[in-house]
Structure 1
């Protein structure tokens, strides 16, 4: 019977991570549409030449990122916020901002000039930044709530045993 509760805790934790991943994906999809739409709009308004294209990518990233923070904080990680989380988020997204703009720029300089070059560069840069963001948000920025939840489960089990 000792393996039953452990299996349930492990199962609940994996469902929690899965649920967070699904919510992160939904928020991310919305924010990606917002980011990409901003990027394409700026390019259509003449920011499709260097160095303006890098500025367009930066502006679109900031708009998508700000929206992602607000939505992920509330809906994905159910975090209460505070200066510590906001600071961690700003540091993380400052880093991934550099990654997104850098990857986008590198691809624009290496991909052949075609009609899909900007789109592909955006997609790859966004996927790279999004992967880094989920891992770091889950395990660093919003970890406090996850730790509290883990402690309450463990303390209840220790009272039983």
Structure 2
């Protein structure tokens, strides 16, 4: 009887975790879709004025990034009380800079060997294809990094080991306190300059 309750409880916890992850992915997708419209629209507007594709992609990426940060931290991810705001912003900026490099590399490769003025329609089409590929790759990068380092949904997690054994909340807390993410957050609180918001 107890084993059945334990299995049922573990299954319920797993279902709750999966539902929360799906809900978070949907919110991330909506925010990402709006950011993509801003990014893609502005890039094509700049391309229409014959701006270099990497310059256009960088400019549009940076502008959509501001929206993405504000919306992600408000609607998608839960702020961690065990991490200083300056560290949260630093992680977001560093991960976004890496995302920008990925974005620009893919856009540049999409038109490698082409001269921007030679065939503007083909140049724009290849830039747009590159931008779509870059958006998918960067979105995956952003979600993984932000989920790992910035999100606080771990506190509600339940986990199972590979052998089916259920982890207790105490074991989950111990694992969390040994994680890089937790240690980074605690370090940031201890090294926050006086007067800065925590």
TM-score category (smaller protein): 0.7 to 0.9
Of 144, 149, 153, which aligns to 1:146? Answer: 153
Q: How does 1:83-122 map to 2 (within 5 A)?
A: 83-109=86-112, 114=122, 116-122=125-131
In structure 2, C-alpha distance between the alignment counterparts of 1:76 and 1:110, rounded to whole Å: 40
Give the Å deviation of 1:127: 1.2
In structure 2, C-alpha distance between the alignment counterparts of 1:33 and 1:3, rounded to whole Å: 45
Higher RCO (C-alpha 8 Å, min separation 6) = 2
1:74 paired with 2:89, answer no
- Any gaps of 5 or more consecutive residues in structure 2? 159-167, 171-198
Give the Å deviation of 1:32: 0.1
When normalised by structure 1's length, the TM-score is 0.83
The one-character-per-residue Cα deviations of 1:123-159 (angstroms, maximum 9, x if unpaired) are: 111111111111111122x23x1222338x936xxxx
Give the Å deviation of 1:45: 2.1
When normalised by structure 2's length, the TM-score is 0.68
In structure 2, C-alpha distance between the alignment counterparts of 1:101 and 1:14, rounded to whole Å: 34
The one-character-per-residue Cα deviations of 1:32-61 (angstroms, maximum 9, x if unpaired) are: 0000011011111230xxxx3211110111
Q: Which runs of 4+ in 1 moved over 6 A?
A: none
1:36 paired with 2:40, answer yes
RMSD: 2.0
Q: Which has the larger radius of gyration?
A: 2
- Any gaps of 5 or more consecutive residues in structure 1? 156-161
Q: Matched residue pairs, number?
A: 147
In structure 1, C-alpha distance between the alignment counterparts of 2:88 and 2:157, rounded to whole Å: 19
Corresponding residue of 2:136: 127
In structure 1, C-alpha distance between the alignment counterparts of 2:65 and 2:90, rounded to whole Å: 14
